[in-house]
Amino acid sequence: MATYDDPELILNILCFHTAASNIAIFDDAACALARDEQPLNHLVMPALLAEAERSGGMTAELRLRIAQMIKALLPQFDAVLITCSTLGSVADDFSVQEHVMRTDGMLAEVLQGQSGPAVALCAAESTLAATRTLFCQHGSQVEVALVEGAWAAFKEGDTTRYFSLIAAAAEQAYQQGAVAVALAQSSMTPVAQQFPDTQRPLTGPHLALQTCYDLR
């Protein structure tokens, strides 16, 4: 019987972050999927998000630079997972065979498959345009909403307020009739544990890692 120690089943995955706090979130997701014996690789590049925020979002020059950076890393990894929603569109510049994926991409597919109105919450204003492009496909009933004040709290290191604002926004979305709520940014993931199983917001890390593991 095969085990995850078998070379044929081991995947060398790189998580491409812009926030160091996402390392624990993805490691926890790997553990929950019983894949903690296969340590994830993490690269944290906060300056890339800071540059995008100063520019009001992703620019063509920044997108090209990130794509070149990932291209240089590809020979070392079986899959690269872009965990930052603001930078996620870079994954579209790679072929399916290159296995460069965006965490929110898998989340969007699941949310769009819901029957009824759904809400995708995001915290950083710099990711609004990219998130709307991804989640609000023609014919879908998905609305993208910004959680006001949340990103300022995150940047100040006030995670308690950050999570509280997101939880309140998710609760409001459910009360207003959303059949599903997605936490579009990876840093929001811990908030989902505050909700019961019957009404728990969707999060990206588990879905994204499972997609990577399914490559084997």
1, part of any domain: no
Look at 139 and 185; give whichever has higher pLDDT. Answer: 185
Predicted confidence (pLDDT) per residue in 10-39, tens digit: 689 999 999 999 999 999 999 988 887 788
Place 2 in a pLDDT band, splitting at 50, 70 and 90: very low
Structure tokens at 125: 């204003």
pLDDT at 10: 62
**What percent of the chain stands above pLDDT 70?**
95
Question: Which segments within 38-141 are labelled E, that is strand?
Answer: 41-44, 79-82, 100-102, 118-122
Say yes or no: 94 and 18 in one domain.
yes
Q: Is residue 5 part of a domain?
A: no
| pLDDT at 93 exceeding the cut of 90 | yes
Confidence of residue 7 (pLDDT cuts 50, 70, 90): very low
Specify whether 195 is located in the same domain as 111. Answer: yes
Q: Residues, the chain, total? A: 216
Separation CA 117–CA 164 (nearest Å)? 23
Is the domain of 116 the same as that of 131? yes
Q: What is the CATH number of the domain that holds 123?
A: 3.40.50.1860
Mean pLDDT of the chain: 91
For residue 4, tell me if it sits in a domain: no
Question: Are residue 191 and residue 209 in the same domain, yes or no?
Answer: no
Query: Which of 99, 101, 78 is closest to 88 using CA atoms?
Result: 101
pLDDT tens-digit readout, 69-87: 999 999 999 999 999 999 9
Pair 87, 118 in one domain: no
Q: Convert the pLDDT of each residue in 165-183 to its tens digit.
A: 999 999 999 999 999 999 9
Which pLDDT score, from 0 to 100, does residue 30 have? 93
- Same domain flag for 164 and 109: yes
Determine how many CB atoms are found less than 10 A away from the CB of residue 30: 22
Question: Is residue 48 domain-shared with residue 81, that is, in the same domain?
Answer: yes
Q: Domain for residue 7, yes or no?
A: no
Of 65-69, 111-115, 154-158, 189-193, least confident by mean pLDDT is 111-115
Residues 171 and 120 in one domain: yes
Do 76 and 141 lie in a common domain?
no
Q: Which domain holds residue 149?
A: 105-202
Count of domains for the chain: 2
Q: CATH number of the domain at 63, please.
A: 3.40.50
Amino acid at 202: L
pLDDT at 4: 41
Q: Is the pLDDT of residue 215 over 90?
A: no
